[in-house]
Amino acid sequence: MTAMRVLIEARPFARFDIGHMQRLRDCGFELIDMRGSGVKEPAFMEALKLADLVLSGNDLVVDGNLLDSVPNIRAVCKLGVGLDMIDIGAATARGVLVFHTPGANDQAVADHTFALILSLARKIVRFHTGTRSGFWEHTTVLGMEIAEKTFGIVGLGSIGRNVARRAKGFGCEVVASDPFWPEAFAGEHKIGRVALDELLRVSDIVSLHCPFVPSSYKLIGERELSLMKKTAILVNTARGELVDEAALCRFLKDGRIGGAALDVLAQEPPGESPILSAPNLLVTPHTAAFTLESMDKMSKGCVEQILEYAAGRMPRHAVNREAFHPYGAGPAEGPAANECGVG
């Protein structure tokens, strides 16, 4: 058997530590480095046709049409936790295994969420920019305290739970909405379970941490925004498609909610999106998950699971296990599997 060919599409993979890429090379993999290449460019597609496995990020849409055009692909490793760019059903139907790296960026996203909240509530960017430009807005503009506010979390998965822990540290009353309710965690941390509408009505801060699926498209729209307090803050570090940006823009311009902080947008990069001109808006470029620590964990998680797969074993975070077919004993030209840390 020839060496497994791995096409690397995920731009952040091993960007800050080439050791992860070198580990794959040392274990006999043939790497096709397409990081930074446009996924719609002919050269990218021609390279993808040569690969056995693709290490993908947030740019490549892996659906039935793509998989039919690259029949050699036997597995997809997703850098990060979000799987909205991958049609799991289409992959399963074609015998393509999908695995990802859940848990690697939970702390990073939770930290960024609170950084956005504090920056927006205390108008940090405004004060920083003004002070450096010669404006001294001492006692002329007031911020909002976070302590003891009602904090609503939409999606109490791993990231949502880490955000809840931080909110509890500020003495907030935390309520949450999630169809897959973590009973033990909620009980331990005294988190109230409420329906989405009630969460929107009572919360001073609403933070989105649910996945993007067809049913959650524009989860927060005109009707939902109208339920929120006029002073409330909306935070989205999940997926841009969860929010109706046109409606949010209107509410911000009309002063019908207190503010919004977005790390994700419906279109990325946003170009000249009207949302960028809205007042009381803080925006970052889909960077919540990216810290030195989280990138190391995500890249390492991908490498270790690729090694598991190449050694004929089920990757620990496979999401469609029924599509698993043992690849073999590993790349024939590389060291034995146990020498690569999977024996």
Residues assigned a catalytic role: 239, 268, 286
Residue type, 68: D
Instruction: For residues 149 and 126, give the distance between their C-alpha atoms in angstroms, rounded to a whole number.
Output: 23
Q: Phi and psi at residue 73, in whole multiples of 5°?
A: -65, 125
For residue 101, what are the contacts with CB-CB under 8 A and spacing of at least 6?
A: 78, 79, 80, 81, 297, 298, 301, 302, 305, 317
In contact, 134 and 190? CB cutoff 8 Å: no
Instruction: For residues 250 and 238, give the distance between their C-alpha atoms in angstroms, rounded to a whole number.
Output: 21
Comparing CA positions, the residue from 268, 272, 252 lying closest to residue 260 is 252
Q: Cis (ω within 30 of 0) for the bond into 269?
A: yes
In contact, 224 and 196? CB cutoff 8 Å: yes
Is residue 236 within a helix (H) or strand (E), and if so which, with residue range? strand 233-236
Q: Is the dihedral of CA 7, 13, 17, 19 positive or negative?
A: negative
For residue 90, count CB atoms less than 10 angstroms from its CB and return exposed for 0-12, middle for 13-18, buried for 19 or more: middle
Angle (deg, nearest 10), helices 19-26 and 292-310? 10
